[in-house]
Amino acid sequence: MTNPIALTTTAGGAQPTDPGGGGRAQLEKAKLKMFDPSPKSGGGKGADRGTIQFQFNPKEVTIQKSAKWERKPAKKAKSAGPPEFSGAEPCKLTVEMFFDASGNHDGSVVAAVEQLFSCCVPTEESRGKEKPTPPLVVLQWGKIASFPAFVTSVSAKYTLFSPDGVPIRALCSVAMEEMPNEPWRQNPTSGGQSVRRSHRMIDGDTLASVAYAEYGDPAMWRAIAKYNSVDDPMRLPIGTVMVLPAPEELV
């Protein structure tokens, strides 16, 4: 039995207003960081393969996490037996990217779409190996970075063309899936922070259930509460976003 847990984060592309009245806060642009799936000799992340910049920040980022639960028939009970955790599915993330070159009528939209398509094919370095692999990507927005993932699909819809037939506006839907067996400590971002997941609390969630699904140990709910400065873990409003760092950070 699969129990999907969906997380949807909504954020507009407009600049937020400084509540202190000191003007507008700096606008952080989202981007897809690409890097080689093979780590460098001696450890560390793979080689940087460039960046796909968001022209406009996304309105929505959807993350889905599913867990597998199995029930065995209870011989002496009328109801089904208790569920047993049998593993977690990789995280899946979908996001839309909008590109517009209607102001200059150049080929930048086509170039951006082709760069996204390149994430769906094996890298040149891996094609001669036994198991060709695509580049890994990380959605980075300000100080927040997603999990290392590979792109499973890119759907591009061209909605505007120049008089000579060049696409100058496109809406792209990008789907990616968490790369299995990626070490928590491997940092694909340019900064020094570790990659952190996040979870938005939904109806029925508890910190113990989140800790069990993420780390396999419900007792780690205390460390999650401490890390997120939660005063009352029994009264977390639905929609609260909990940051889930690497296990070694939960001390």
Taking only the tens place, the pLDDT of each residue in 200-251 is 788 778 888 888 888 878 888 888 888 888 888 888 888 788 888 777 776 5
Residue 17, domain member (yes or no): no
For residue 30, what pLDDT is reported? 92
pLDDT beyond 90 at 100: yes
Provide the CATH number for the domain around residue 231: 3.10.350.10
DSSP annotation string for 167-201: EEEEEEEEEEEEPTT--TT---SSSSSPP-EEEE-
Its sign, for the CA torsion 214, 215, 217, 220, is negative
Residue range 141-147: average pLDDT? 78
Residue 141, domain member (yes or no): yes
The boundaries of the domain holding residue 58 are 2-12+28-183
pLDDT bin (cut points 50, 70, 90) of residue 78 is low
Cα 216 to chain center, whole Å? 20
pLDDT bin (cut points 50, 70, 90) of residue 96 is very high
For residue 4, what pLDDT is reported? 39
Residues 243 and 121 in one domain: no
Write down the pTM of the prediction. Answer: 0.59
